[in-house]
């Protein structure tokens, strides 16, 4: 009948319209997804550095092409301006042929970067790129870095002492007058705010640390002090022995007007440091540290491997 034919025609038309809308919607979704995926991939592969150039690495974790072997770190904190200057030499080993060295830096004003080969060739300037989103910098070598070879990266930089208790930070206290001291707390990810480095636990290396300071202050670091030499009027440089192989978050140093009490146990000098006005309050900390060290050496049947163990006590 005519009525049945009309209903069939209308039903077919409705089905056609529905199928058309579904097909168009699917095409649009697929098109948008592909474009987004393409753009996302491009962004991951080629993020932009701060200067607008393409940054050569996109992952949060550092590339496995380069590993650090040793750091020579020189720092000069100024407890008047509350800023610090530094330089670092990093001996790296190339595992895979590359032309880039990607490492961490956070909030550092890097003013100079060079690279030289282990054969003692003259240091050459490198192009320097920053990608703050991942706290990464890339040093673009002027020539290919060969696998199996060692190279030395040199950088000079400056920054402000941190306002938080994280990184290389400052703390004020009152003696006869208001004073400042500087200390570090690098765990888990703050070594990069004190010096450019491969700031992941797997990238272990040895460290030689030198700190320039006012001659009225004192310094502490992971290792015993090796020497103190004059630099300019009123400024001296403390050099510490080369550390054991360790991760960057274990690096530590303090610059302050400190006093200490000490006690030796099993060939290890245990010390607790504090400012003069609180030195009479650290006796318990020293007794506890000595007892715990002796306990753990007996428990694990293992001697503490370093010549000293230091504790720095802050009071607020």
Are 168 and 211 contained in the same domain?
yes
Q: Provide the CATH number for the domain around residue 247.
A: 2.60.40.1730
**Residue 57 resides in a domain:** no
Q: Which of 94-103, 289-298, 301-310 has the lowest mean pLDDT?
A: 301-310
Q: Across-strand partners of 138?
A: 102, 129
Are 41 and 117 contained in the same domain?
no
pTM of the model: 0.82
Are 250 and 315 contained in the same domain?
no
Q: What total of structural domains would you count in the chain?
A: 3
Could you please report the per-residue DSSP string of 163-181? SSSSEEEEEEEESSSEEEE
Are 145 and 234 contained in the same domain?
yes
Report whether pLDDT(126) > 80.
yes
Higher pLDDT, 258 or 93: 93
**Residue 52 resides in a domain:** no
Alpha carbon distance 10, 305 (integer Å): 89
Are 138 and 211 contained in the same domain?
yes
Tokens matching residue 35: 């474009």
Are 107 and 202 contained in the same domain?
yes
Q: Across-strand partners of 309?
A: 270
Residue at a domain's end among 207, 238, 256 = 256
Report whether pLDDT(35) > 50.
no
Are 41 and 78 contained in the same domain?
no
Report whether pLDDT(39) > 80.
no
Kindly state the average pLDDT of the residues 87-94.
98
What are φ and ψ of residue 108, in 5° steps? Answer: -100, 135
Are 173 and 196 contained in the same domain?
yes
pLDDT at 278: 86
Region for residue 201 given its phi and psi (left: phi exceeds 0; alpha: psi -120 to 50; beta: otherwise): alpha
Alpha carbon distance 304, 18 (integer Å): 77
What are the Cα distances from residue 256, in Å, to 68, 285, 304?
A: 30, 19, 27
Residue at a domain's end among 256, 271, 291 = 256
For 220, the enclosing helix (H) or strand (E) is strand 218-221
Determine the structural domain holding residue 275 and report its residue range: 258-316
Report whether pLDDT(88) > 80.
yes
User: What is the pLDDT confidence band of residue 33, given thresholds at 50, 70 and 90?
Assistant: very low
Alpha carbon distance 314, 180 (integer Å): 12
Alpha carbon distance 153, 114 (integer Å): 6
Are 166 and 291 contained in the same domain?
no
């Amino acid at each position: 009948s005519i009525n049945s034919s009309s209903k069939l025609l209308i039903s077919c038309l409705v089905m056609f319209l529905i199928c058309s809308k579904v097909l168009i919607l699917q095409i649009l979704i697929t098109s948008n997804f592909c474009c987004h995926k393409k753009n996302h991939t491009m962004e991951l592969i080629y993020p932009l550095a701060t200067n607008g150039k393409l940054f050569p690495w996109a992952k949060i974790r550092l590339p496995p092409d380069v590993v650090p072997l040793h750091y020579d770190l020189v720092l000069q904190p100024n407890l008047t301006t509350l800023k610090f200057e530094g330089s670092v030499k990093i001996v790296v080993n190339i595992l895979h042929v590359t032309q880039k060295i990607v490492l961490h830096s956070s909030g550092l004003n890097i003013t100079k970067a060079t690279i030289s080969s282990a054969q003692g060739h003259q240091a050459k300037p490198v192009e320097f790129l920053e990608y703050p989103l991942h706290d990464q910098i890339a040093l673009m070598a002027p020539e290919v870095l060969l696998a199996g070879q060692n190279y030395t990266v040199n950088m000079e930089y400056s920054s402000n002492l941190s306002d938080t208790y994280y990184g290389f930070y400052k703390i004020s206290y009152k003696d006869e007058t208001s004073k400042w001291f500087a200390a570090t707390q690098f765990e888990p990810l703050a070594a990069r705010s004190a010096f450019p480095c491969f700031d992941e636990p797997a990238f272990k290396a040895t460290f030689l640390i030198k700190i320039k300071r006012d001659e009225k202050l004192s310094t502490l670091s992971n290792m015993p002090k090796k020497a103190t030499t004059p630099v300019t009027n009123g400024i001296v440089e403390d050099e510490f022995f080369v550390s054991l192989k360790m991760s960057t978050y274990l690096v530590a140093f303090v610059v302050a007007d400190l006093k200490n009490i000490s006690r030796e146990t099993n060939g290890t000098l245990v010390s607790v440091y504090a400012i003069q006005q609180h030195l009479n309050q650290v006796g318990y900390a020293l007794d506890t540290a000595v007892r715990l060290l002796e306990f753990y050496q007996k428990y694990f049947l293992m001697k503490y491997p370093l010549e000293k163990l230091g504790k720095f006590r802050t009071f607020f």
